[in-house]
Amino acid sequence: MSHTRGVTDDVEPLIEESVEVAADPARVWSLVSDLPRLAEWSPQVVRSFVRTERPIRLGTRLLNVNRRGLLVWPTQSKVVRFEPHQEIAFRVKDNFTVWSFTLEPTATGTRVVQRREAPEGISAISSRLTKRMLGGVPSFQAELREGMRSTLAGIKATAEA
């Protein structure tokens, strides 16, 4: 899974948000592990298509369509961590980031943690496009963090319904 080292200028190695959900981990897992459902909650994900057979598991590949205003772009991703009822993570081929959901049982339900990891930065092309089309890396990362909050709020609302 090696790749070319990424651009690290202004790139936060970790963006993380969490929420407490009044539902058990099995219920929350059924939502977060169904990656195409992210489009229901994420302000940026329009659609995700599973490119390999179901069910989703380690190695599953997806094609994602993202949108911000009039700008629409595809990304490819692959599930790189998959521990049922605990964690699912996918690596975005186009920008080297890893997105994940981790579930932790609590006394009243489940703590859901969403992360965007970029320990080696992002791809050079992603950095250039972010600077030219998305307002720059720092402002786009702030937008990603807000998007995580929206995504987690949507997962919470769905899980608790």
Between 6 and 1, residue with greater pLDDT: 6
* pTM of the predicted protein model: 0.94
Structural domains in the chain, sorted by start: 14-160 (3.30.530.20)
Please give the residue that has the higher pLDDT: either 6 or 91. Answer: 91
pLDDT recorded at residue 1: 44
Digit-coded pLDDT (tens) for 92-127:
999 999 999 999 999 999 999 999 999 999 999 999
Helix, strand or coil, per DSSP, at residue 134: coil
**pLDDT for residue 29 is more than 70:** yes
Q: What is the pLDDT of residue 7?
A: 86
Residue 2 has pLDDT above 50, yes or no: no
pLDDT tens for 36-46 read 999 999 999 99
pLDDT of residue 3: 52
